[in-house]
Amino acid sequence: MSQFRDFNLKLLVLEELMYGPDPLLPVYDLPARLARRGIGDPASYVLENGLHTEVLPESREYFETLEIPAELLARVEELCFDAGADVFRHCAPAWDGEDDLFDVHSLDDLVLLPNLRQVTFVEDGVLAVPDAAEVFTARGIETD
């Protein structure tokens, strides 16, 4: 199993594997998990409890310990560095995208994605790596 160093890059990989058009992993559903505890509105819950500036501990633990088999990592061909990724809503349901909570700070984990061929950047996205375009170009990864 592969170990990611940048948690936020792992989340973007999980966005593709869990929430993409052809999910390859079971979806982590934070609202359903909270509903089982009697919490109906995740965003209100985190706001009322002062948790809106962080990844919820239960989500962090789940995603940090989730092991992604190499054969699934090899199926990731595209990544989108978008602050609107579904996986972020399952980590921080009241996150407004205005801070760096989900910024990717390292691309060292790209070695775990042998078939990554394209990345998409979104204005005000979550890529905070200087010279990222050069890193992608050196790896033969197209940028949009």
pLDDT tens digit string along 3-45? 899 999 999 999 999 999 999 999 999 999 999 999 999 999 9
Q: Provide the Cα torsion 109, 111, 113, 115; round to 10°.
A: 150
In order of 65, 75, 110, the CA distances from 84 in angstroms are 23, 22, 21
pLDDT for the residue numbered 122: 75
pTM: 0.94
Q: What is the C-alpha to C-alpha distance for residues 15 and 79, in angstroms, rounded to an integer?
A: 8
- pLDDT exceeds cutoff 90 at 98: no
What's the pLDDT score for residue 2?
59
Percent of the chain with pLDDT over 70: 99
115 has pLDDT over 60: yes
**pLDDT of amino acid 124:** 72
What is the model's pLDDT at position 136?
Answer: 95
Residue 68 banded pLDDT, cuts 50, 70, 90: very high
For residue 11, the Cα-to-chain-centroid distance in whole angstroms is 2
